[in-house]
Amino acid sequence: MDLSLRSCKKLVHLDLKGAPPRIDYLIQLIQLFADLGANGLLIEYEDMFPYEGELKVLQSTTQPPYSREEIASIQDAASKRGLEIIPLVQMFGHLEFVLKHKVFRDLREVDYCLGTLNPHHDRGVRLVKEMLKQVMKLHPKSTNLHIGADEVYMLGLGDESKQWLSAPGRSVHKLFLNHVIKVAKGIQKSVPNLKLIMWDDMLRSMTPETIKESGLVGLVQPMLWDYSPALDVKNTVELMELYKSAGMSQQWVASSFKGSTTVHTCVTSTQRHVDNHLQWLKVVSGLSAGIELQGIALTGWQRYDHLSVLCELMPVSLPSLASCLETLLHGSFTEEVQMKVVKTLGTVEVGDLERSSSKMPSSFVGAKLAELIVKLTSLLESAELRQFQSNMFVRGWFTPYHIQRKTVNPLIAQQIKTQAKMILDDVEIQVQEVKGEMCLLYSVSTVQEWMDQHVTPVLEPLRNLLRDTESVLNEMGFCT
């Protein structure tokens, strides 16, 4: 059993840039996170933060951001349960929610990449410092701040960067480090006791000497992230040891309990994420004594980035989160651990009837929505629905050729229509159930987005086919 991960900070990541829960549900979730063994929150507001002044344009236009009072209530709920809050504010990459706006377009590294900030503009540095300042002003008790800095795509490809890189001794690595250090020192100057964390991926290809000579050491603690169930233990241990040799002995790691399977996944696989945590346990047990592990962030991405579709909603992922936290606490995912999760939530995997107990129905906050989503997703992925247009009758008697030339067999057209309507009616009943339950936990705009992204693309071809059969039968003089 690994004692390091058991005793260190366990942060649940709240990615609020997609499907932000209604505030009353979010408060309930915070209570549940504490009950499950978490002792901190890593909160990424993005466009759901009530930015002011020039930054007000960053606020979401599809739904109101959390108010200052609501952010205070989040901190109050967390504090009462002993949960530390660490805000996460991006300051280099993944700035799509900022740079998509026309007023900030000239701050992009390259015009066609909405995520990466041009590090040469003083206005860009002032912008991210102001974002950080406003967020921290509403989190006066937070002693840690995550500044992102991951996946800084296209860095070095802008005209100003190319010019900067043309001088001897300069590299993209130094270009990246210069910006991070400039921002970090600015934060350190205004809030001296604030500890800074950053994602590590942009550091991975650097030598210890490059990191050490840059001045980054002592300013920022790296958070190594890997969400794969087949995480490479040996390479990850070596990477953490490399950071230590560069002088960065205080480190964090990040796993995943949802949002890292595919960009459009709707239902979370508990085992996949448990396996990721089992690999992290192996990594930590293989570290040398000189590495000071600060904690682990269990990430729960709601989107891959600001402009991508919604991943699994939180209710569907809570059994996975519970299982992952118990795995960290016990050092394994035994039958005993699984039964502990079942006792708490009623299940270890939403929709897994074999391991769910009829005597202990799922009772966690959002359980009804989770079960409805699993049921609807199963229907949407069924062969009957997805392959309807490929069945013998449609491909044999109701092709565009037949429709265009009005050589349709009315008997078969009627049969296709009846079957399509029956399937659509069945799905629509379940869609309405999901909508009704989802509206209790999420805004109307989130509900509509989820439907448009995950339901409409599957149903629209069938709806079009139904309209075509009705139109053809009408033209042929058959009452529909």
CA nearest neighbour of 454 among 307, 309, 329, 289:
309
- CB distance 62 to 83 below 8 Å: no
Q: Which residues contact 319 (CB under 8 A, 6 or more apart)?
A: 268, 270, 341, 345, 347, 348, 349, 350, 364
The whole-angstrom separation of Cα 323 and Cα 271 is 9
Active site residue 151: yes
Amino acid residing at 12: V
Catalytic residue of the set 52, 54, 96, 151: 151
How many Cβ atoms from other residues are within 10 Å of residue 478's Cβ?
Answer: 13
Tokens at 67, concatenated: 């108010």
As given in the structure block, the two tokens for residue 199 are 């994602």
Q: Is 137 exposed, middle or buried (0-12, 13-18, 19+ CB in 10 A)?
A: exposed
Residue 135: how many other CB atoms lie within 10 Å = 19
- What is the side-by-side order of every strand in the sheet holding 292-300? 84-87, 40-44, 9-15, 292-300, 250-258, 220-225, 195-199, 144-146
Phi, psi of 164 (to 5 degrees): -65, -40
Q: Which residues contact 100 (CB under 8 A, 6 or more apart)?
A: 114, 306, 307
Give the Cα separation of 280 and 296 in Å (integer): 9
Instruction: Decide if 263 contacts 301 (C-beta within 8 A).
Output: no
Q: Which of these, 99, 91, 94, lies nearest to 136 by C-alpha position?
A: 91
Buried b (16+ CB within 10 A) or exposed e, 171-209: ebbbbbbbbbbebbebbbeebeeebbbbbbbbbeebebe
Say how far apart CA 128 and CA 142 lie, in whole Å.
18
The H or E element spanning position 41 is strand 40-44
Measured CA to CA, the distance from residue 46 to residue 94 in angstroms comes to 10
CA distance readout (Å), 256 to 8, 139, 185, 276, 325: 17, 25, 30, 7, 11
Q: Which residues are catalytic?
A: 151
